[in-house]
Amino acid sequence: MKQKPHILTIAGFDPSSGAGITSDIKTFEAHNLNGLSVCTAITIQNDIDFKDCIWIDEAIILSQIETLFERFSISMVKIGIVQSWKVLEKIIDVLHKLNPTIAIVLDPILKASSGFDFHTRSDLETLSNILEKCNIITPNYDEIKNLFPDKSIEQTIAFISKKTNIYLKGGHRTDKKGWDEIYHSDIVQINMPPGVDKIHNKHGSGCVLSSSLASNLSKGIILEDACKNAKRYTEQFLNSNATLLGNHNYNTND
């Protein structure tokens, strides 16, 4: 049997498995990839209530990463919650040292849906450096407004677009809910309307989208098509049932 390609998630642990590393692993497996994981935080939560976040020590995170690279060939990484921009920058620098051509999808999670703040957003210089080292970021509308608080959304998009690609998730939009926007190559904008009439909200849907996008990109699918595939997969996940915890459609034919 042919070995599935490896893909890595660096994110937090959610006991409900709706978000974080276990959710990412489910998504990777659904895309017929072998998911590897590095834990950055232990969260105390379920699908409706977030109580606390215990951060994993930076040295332990880096040791997890280095140990995996000793054994596995990894060319794609999806990154979720990390304690600070400084720690995130160190993680990314280690990834590039271990594989100079590694591709990174960053989901810049600033706050849980319950309102829990994960880390401060004051170190804008470090954040700017981080963006240049990622292939694409996947903020929602609330997150992109808070990445650079002194800039408007339009100014923030223009600034980030000069450094990396953007998949701007539209689930938090008030004007066009569910309309996603892709900004790539500093000049191209793609608007993606919802593919379904209505959805059932899910805990961890942002994690699913970013890990689906990373999965598609890891297979060599071009960016625009990878974004479209990830949106379609996420909509299927959202409407897989009427609860807050979705089901993954495992693809065994790929």
Question: CB neighbours of 68 closer than 8 A, spacing ≥ 6?
Answer: 8, 36, 38, 74
**How far is it, in rounded angstroms, from Cα 122 to Cα 179?**
29
Question: CB neighbours of 134 closer than 8 A, spacing ≥ 6?
Answer: 92, 104, 105, 106, 164
Q: Which alpha helices (H) appear in the chain, and where do they start and end? A: 20-30, 58-71, 85-98, 124-132, 141-147, 153-161, 205-218, 223-238
From first to last of its 254 residues, what are the pLDDT tens digits of the chain? 578 999 999 999 999 999 999 999 999 999 999 999 999 999 999 999 999 999 999 999 999 999 999 999 999 999 999 999 999 999 999 999 999 999 999 999 776 554 445 555 557 788 889 999 999 999 998 888 888 888 898 999 999 999 999 999 986 666 667 789 999 988 889 999 888 878 888 888 999 999 999 999 999 999 999 999 999 999 999 999 999 899 998 764 45
Longest dimension (CA), the chain: 53
**How far is it, in rounded angstroms, from Cα 141 to Cα 168?**
7
Supply the pTM of this predicted model. 0.92
Asked if residues 8 and 76 have their Cβ atoms less than 8 Å apart, the reply is: yes
Asked if residues 229 and 212 have their Cβ atoms less than 8 Å apart, the reply is: yes
- In b/e form, how buried is each residue of 196-217, taking b as 16+ CB within 10 angstroms? eeebeebbbbbbbbbbbbbbbb
Residue 134 class from Cβ within 10 Å (0-12 exposed, 13-18 middle, 19+ buried)? buried
pLDDT at residue number 253: 46
Asked if residues 17 and 26 have their Cβ atoms less than 8 Å apart, the reply is: yes
**How far is it, in rounded angstroms, from Cα 125 to Cα 114?**
28
Count of CB atoms situated within 10 Å of the CB of 253: 5
Structure tokens at 72: 């596995």
pLDDT at residue number 114: 46
pLDDT at residue number 120: 53
pLDDT at residue number 79: 98
